[in-house]
Amino acid sequence: MKSRFVGLVLAAVLAVAPAFGENTQVGSIKADMVKKNVEVEGTVGSFQAARSEKAPNSFKLKDSSGDIRVCIWSNALDALPNKADLKDGAKVKVKAEVAEFKGAIELHVNDAKDLKIEGGSTAPAAEKSADAPKSADAAPGAAKAATGSGIGAITLGQKDEVVTVKGTVASVKEPSSERAPVVVKVKDDSGTIDVVYWADFAKSLGPDKTPAKGDTVEVKGKVNEYRGAIQLQPAAAADLKVTKGAGAAPAEKTSDAKSPETSAAPAKAAAGSGIAAITEAQKGQVVTVTGKVTGAKAPSNEKAPYVFKVTDETGTIDVVFWADFAKSLADNQKAEKGDMVQIKGKVNDYRGTIQLQPETAADFKTEKSDPALFQKKTSGDADVKGPQSAAPEMDLGRVADLAAKQKVTISGQVAAVTPIRAGQRVTLKDSTGQMDVLLWDTAVGLKPASGALKADSKLLLTGIVEQVDGKNILVVSQPENVLSVMP
C-alpha cells in the first residue's frame, strides 16, 4: 500500500514538472508536422499581448535556423509565475504543438509548464507589475534614459519599466465606454506616445491637472503595450505634471490637417521619398502621398472601414476611412481600382501595419476631381507598376555606392534574417560584398517562400535604394519585385 502511494505521488510530480528533451530547429518545422509536439529554444521577439479574450498572446521565437510564431493563451500565460519576463530579448524553451493558421505554420503552447523563461524572476508577475511604479530605484534610472533620448527611443523591450517623458499634448481622446481609458497623445521632437489612464485616475487630477491639447506635460509611468502600440500608464496623480496652455499654438497646428504650416513638411517628405519612406516614427503626423489605387475593400460590417491600397514606385500603403467620410465625397472623388489619387492624411498603425487616414473630403483628390495634379503623373503611369526589366542588375558592391532613389535588381545569398514589424531585414551577400534589404510583408504575396527565409536561401530582387544611417539599403515592397526565391 505504501509503495502504491509513493508511486502515485511520484506520478503527480512528474506530471507537473516541465520535462524538456532534445530541441528541434525552427527552420526544420514543416507543414507535415502539424498536430505533432516539438521542443524549441530561442529568443523572443515581437511580443504581442492578446487582443481579446479568445485571442492568444504571441511572439516570434528565433534560433539560428529561422523564426516561428508561438501562441500562448492567457489562461496559460497567467499561470506563469514570471510572466513579466516574457518580453522581447528573453531566452525561452518551449514545448508546443505544431499548428497551421491562415496558411502559416505556428506553435501552440497550451500549458504554463511547457514554457520556460531562462534567467527570469520567480516572483509572481502580478507582484512585480504592482511594485514597478513604486520602485525608487527603477524609476529615476528609467526616467533619465527616456528624458535623455526622447519618446522615440522607448521600445517594447522596456515593457513594465518606469520611464519619464516630457512633451506637448497633441490630442486627448475621451473614453468611448465605461471600461475604456482616456488616451492622451504626448509628442516631442523624436516621436509620439499614448498616455492612458482610467476614470478613477482622471477624478484624482482635478481641473488644473487635467491635460488638454496644447498643454506641456511631464509624465512618469509604466511602459505597456496594446495592439502593438507602446503606451505609458501613470500610477498616481503626482506622476502627471501639467503646465496649462504652454504649447497651445504648436499643438493646434500639429493636429489640424488643414494647416499648411503643419502638413507642408511631412507632405514634402512623403512626396520626395515615396510611400516606402513612411515609418512608424511618423505616427500622428500628416503626410501626402500620390499613387495608383491597386486595391479597394468595402467594409465587412457597420463598424469596419473602407480600405484602399495606394501604390507608388516605392511601395504600398493602406488608406482607411469610414462610412461618414465616404458619404462626404463628391462623385468625382470616388476612386476605383486603377485610378490615380493624391491623399493627405494622418499616419496611423493598426496591428503592425502603417495606415493613412484622411480627415476631410478636401484631403482626397482624384484624376476626375483635380485633373491638373495628375498631368505629369499620367505620362509616367507605367512607372507605378514599374517594368522589372527596366531596373539594371548589379553586384552588391556597386549598389553600395549608388545615389538614393535608384531602382536596381540584385541577387545574392541570405546571410541573416531579422524579423521587424511588417516585414524582415534580410542581409544578402555575394562575391563583391553584402547589404541589407528591407523586405516588407506587402512584397510576399506572389512568392510565399520569401516570407519564411532562412540562411543560404538565394534571392533575386528589384528594389529602391535608400540611405539609412549613411549606408545604402534596398527597399522591396511590391510582390512583383520578388523575382526569384531558391531554398
Q: Indicate whether 361 and 479 sit together in one domain.
A: no
**Residue 4, domain member (yes or no):** no
Q: Indicate whether 355 and 474 sit together in one domain.
A: no
Question: Residue 4 has what pLDDT?
Answer: 52
Q: Indicate whether 405 and 478 sit together in one domain.
A: yes
Q: Indicate whether 300 and 196 sit together in one domain.
A: no
**Residue 466, domain member (yes or no):** yes
- List the CATH number of the domain containing 223: 2.40.50.200
**Residue 187, domain member (yes or no):** yes
Q: Indicate whether 108 and 152 sit together in one domain.
A: no
Question: Residue 128 has what pLDDT?
Answer: 33
**Residue 2, domain member (yes or no):** no
Q: Indicate whether 319 and 232 sit together in one domain.
A: no
Q: Is 207 exposed, middle or buried (0-12, 13-18, 19+ CB in 10 A)?
A: exposed
Q: Indicate whether 248 and 260 sit together in one domain.
A: no
**Residue 262, domain member (yes or no):** yes
Question: Residue 421 has what pLDDT?
Answer: 66
Q: Is 450 exposed, middle or buried (0-12, 13-18, 19+ CB in 10 A)?
A: buried
Q: Ramachandran region of residue 456, left (φ > 0), alpha (ψ -120 to 50) or beta?
A: left
**Of 367, 384, 401, which residue constitutes the final position of a domain?**
384
Question: Residue 246 has what pLDDT?
Answer: 43
Q: Indicate whether 70 and 178 sit together in one domain.
A: no
**Residue 10, domain member (yes or no):** no
**Residue 368, domain member (yes or no):** yes
Question: Residue 321 has what pLDDT?
Answer: 92
- Residue 84's domain comprises 18-123
- List the CATH number of the domain containing 359: 2.40.50.140
Q: Indicate whether 141 and 103 sit together in one domain.
A: no
**Of 328, 357, 384, which residue constitutes the final position of a domain?**
384
Helix, strand or coil, per DSSP, at residue 148: helix
pLDDT digits (tens, 9 = 90+) for 302-361: 888 888 988 887 778 889 998 888 888 888 898 888 889 999 999 888 776 788 999 888
**Of 336, 356, 384, which residue constitutes the final position of a domain?**
384
Q: Cα–Cα–Cα angle for 402, 427, 270, nearest 5°? A: 55
Location of C-alpha cell 496652455: 245
Q: Indicate whether 323 and 434 sit together in one domain.
A: no
Q: Which residues of the chain fall below pLDDT 70? A: 1-21, 52-53, 119-149, 227-228, 245-273, 352, 376-390, 421, 443-452
CA dist 150 and 159 (Å) reads 16
**Residue 401, domain member (yes or no):** yes
pTM (2 d.p.): 0.30
CA dist 81 and 445 (Å) reads 40
319 close to 345: Cβ distance less than 8 angstroms: yes
Rounded to 5 degrees, what are φ and ψ at 164?
-120, 135
- Counted domains in the chain: 4
Question: Residue 195 has what pLDDT?
Answer: 92
CA dist 140 and 6 (Å) reads 53
Question: Residue 382 has what pLDDT?
Answer: 38
* Amino acid identity for residue 69 in this structure: R
